[in-house]
Amino acid sequence: MESSSSKITDEIRAEASRLLSSGEVAAFLGFVPGSLPMTVRPFVARSSEDAARLVWNSFCVMNLANYLPEVLKSVEPPRGPGDPEPEGPLPRVGVLATGCWSRNMVVQIQENRIQRDRVVILGISSRGMVDRKKVLARLGGREALKVEEQDHSLLVSGRAFNEEIPRWEVVRDNCRSCVHPDPVIWDIMIGERAGDRQNANRFAQVEEIESLAPEERWAWFQEEISSCIRCYACRNACPLCYCPTCFVDDSRPQWVGKSIEPVDTAIFHILRAYHCAGRCTDCGACESACPMGIRMRLFTKKLEKDVLEMYGAEAGMDPETPLPLSTFSPDDPQDFIVTGQESPKSTGDEAGRSGEVSQS
């Protein structure tokens, strides 16, 4: 039986090829197969021959919204700093979008990173992407030389072994806790919409950590980031991280040390997470990109939970609703603001700081 991924692949190829050859889009942003099992490569198709190479499967873990501004720029006519705006509409770009990616595109529209009328979105309801690291962990050091995807299982084979792994068990944590698999904006829908997913408790992972004592939480945090090599794959995989000069790179003033001293790494991770608050869609690209297996999306997930609880907002659900942290309303919760008179709850208690907001 044809798997749902390969059906989607066929449809993507057909649509992308049509869009490209009709000139509706100048480029199409998708994936092509990678050179290793369980990998794909983000790819910009510019012809229908290119489109025939596109692929869809359970390993499409990079968030394509991250590439969109650059690809949009690449199809614009070249222009020097002083040159006038080109006349007429600029060329468009086609792109694939699952629920979370489409929400990132909404955020990008709200933050003026992209223009809605310049993207043609092929919406796909995500069945959850597989975490390559989870599969590798199950193999315990044996190397997967071939991984074949079926709708509910992965057939993994290597030197002298064949193993069938139930797919859902190795789906990424963010996808397992996702409730919005359908795109919120799209132009062409590929396959069926699945509807919001019932999820017993999407914040279970966060609550587990919240239940720890402050010092345990701090210890957990430090342990989690201890092997970080500051490669910034997590930051660079993220469509929200686009500051021209990231605070970690700034030298005037220098906010944070550059090497892997624990305190510097901690500052990096805390600030990175906070920069994403109210904007992060839990797409999991950061975690998938990390070569060291650090689960930094738990930090942003915590903030997602806080923003939902305090402001009733979820990032990118609707282009008309402004971003929660860039708007103010008089009834916003404000009791976390510490004034001069009150003594803060956790004086000198560094452990509590990152988790304090929601408890006050």
Ligand X SMILES: Cc1cc2nc3c(=O)[nH]c(=O)nc-3n(C[C@H](O)[C@H](O)[C@H](O)COP(=O)(O)OP(=O)(O)OC[C@H]3O[C@@H](n4cnc5c(N)ncnc54)[C@H](O)[C@@H]3O)c2cc1C
Which residues of the chain form contacts with other proteins (CB under 8 A)? 34-36, 39-44, 62, 66-67, 70-71, 74, 133-134, 136-137, 139-141, 143, 145, 159, 227, 229-233, 235-237, 245, 249, 251-252, 254, 257-261, 288-293
145 binds, among ligand X, ligand SF4, other proteins, none (CB under 5 to 8 A by kind): other proteins
- Out of ligand SF4, other proteins, ligand X, none, which partner does residue 249 contact, by CB within 5 to 8 A per kind? other proteins
One-character DSSP codes across 150-215: -SSEEEEEETTEEEEEEGGGGB-HHHHT-S--S-SS-SEEES----PPP-S-TTHHHHHHHTS-HH
Q: Are strands 27-33 and 93-97 parallel, antiparallel or unpaired?
A: parallel
Is there a contact between 314 and 308 (Cβ–Cβ < 8 Å)?
yes
**Residue 63: what are its φ and ψ, rounded to 5°?**
-85, 115
Residues sharing a CB contact under 8 Å with residue 243, sequence separation 6 or more, in sequence order: none
Q: Which amino acid is at 222?
A: Q
Three-class secondary structure of residue 18 per DSSP: helix
Cβ nearer to ligand SF4, comparing 172 with 230 = 230
User: Shortest gap between Cβ of 296 and ligand SF4 (angstroms)?
Assistant: 5
What's the token pair of residue 260?
């892997």
Q: Residue 308 Cβ, how far from ligand SF4 at the closest point, in Å? A: 24
- Least distance from C-beta 257 to ligand X, angstroms? 15
Which partner in other proteins, ligand X, ligand SF4, none is near 294 (CB below 5 to 8 A by kind)? ligand SF4
For residue 232, give every residue at least 6 positions away whose Cβ sits within 8 Å of its Cβ, in sequence order, or none. Answer: 246, 248
Task: Work out what residue 350 binds among ligand SF4, ligand X, other proteins, none; the CB cut-off runs from 5 to 8 Å by kind.
Answer: none
In sequence order, the 6+-apart residues with CB closer than 8 A to the CB of 285 are 61, 62, 63, 66, 237, 238, 239
Report the residue number, 259 or 341, with the smaller CB distance to ligand X: 259
Tell me how far apart the alpha carbons of residues 315 and 302 are, in angstroms, rounded to a whole number.
14
Residue 266 as a binder of ligand SF4 (CB under 6 A): the answer is no
Provide the greatest CA pair distance for the chain.
Answer: 69
Among 16, 122, 178, 294, binds ligand SF4 (CB under 6 A): 294
Residue 251 contacts ligand X per CB under 6 A: yes
| Region of 44-52, 187-195, 208-216, 291-299 interacting with ligand SF4 (CB under 6 A) | 291-299
Site string for ligand X, 194-233 (x = CB under 6 A): ----------------------------------------
CA-to-CA distance for 9 and 15, rounded, in angstroms? Answer: 10
Asked if 289 touches ligand SF4 (CB under 6 A), the answer is yes
Minimum separation from the CB atom of position 80 to ligand X (A): 23
- How many residues touch ligand X (CB under 6 A)? 2
Distance, CA of 67 to CA of 95 (rounded, Å): 10
Distance, CA of 286 to chain centre: 6
Provide CB contacts within 8 A for 14, sequence distance 6+.
none
140 binds, among ligand SF4, other proteins, ligand X, none (CB under 5 to 8 A by kind): other proteins
Q: Is residue 229 at the binding interface for ligand SF4, with CB under 6 A as the rule? A: yes
Q: 249 — phi, psi (to 5°)?
A: -95, -15
Residue 296 interacting with ligand SF4 (CB under 6 A): yes
Closer residue to ligand SF4 in complex, CB, 227/326 = 227
> Least distance (Å) from ligand SF4 to the CB of residue 231?
4
Which positions lie near ligand SF4, rule CB under 6 A?
Answer: 228-234, 289-290, 292, 294, 296
Which positions lie near ligand X, rule CB under 6 A?
Answer: 251-252
